Amino acid sequence: MSITLSVPVTSGQAFLGTRDQVAAARAWALAAVPLPRSHPRASDLATVVTELATNAIRHSMSGARGGRYCLQVSLDPGSTAERGAVELTCVDLGPGAGLQDEREDACEGGRGLRLVRALVDAYSADQTPTSREVRCRLIWGGGPA
């Protein structure tokens, strides 16, 4: 008798809260997901990671001296280059601007998170006094087999 477990493949990485680490975060996430760079969802994933990392650095204590933020990628079982799903989580050091604040202020006013929500299939966010967690789900090719 054999038992097959279907569990997500998860990996995580901490990044310094500096602007130069945004490209490193993007490259790390793209390497963790089995999508060819030419796939449209790879471009979406790159944009989402860029926006979440930039948001963590600019709008939380993760951007303070010595600050960090963490990314986690969880691939659904059976995900391939043709079909699959990934959950991306970004945890920063909070506190930051209200997560559901849709107001436009001077120049940016939440555009990054609105762009993220437009690109992903599911989005949720939680905030505590010491952290903020944003979770996004991207599906391609109809989802995992």
Domain extent listing, the chain: 9-140
What residue ranges in the chain does DSSP mark as E strands? Answer: 9-16, 68-75, 84-92, 122-127, 132-140
CA distance 5 to 21: 35
Tell the residue number behind the tokens 């109809």, with chain if given: 142
Contact 122, 130 (CB under 8 A): no
Low-confidence ranges of the chain (pLDDT < 70): 1-7, 96-109, 145
* Per-residue confidence (pLDDT) for residue 99, from 0 to 100: 41
Classify domain 9-140 at the CATH class level: alpha beta
Going by the DSSP 8-state scheme, the letter that residue 76 receives in this structure is P
Record the pTM. 0.85
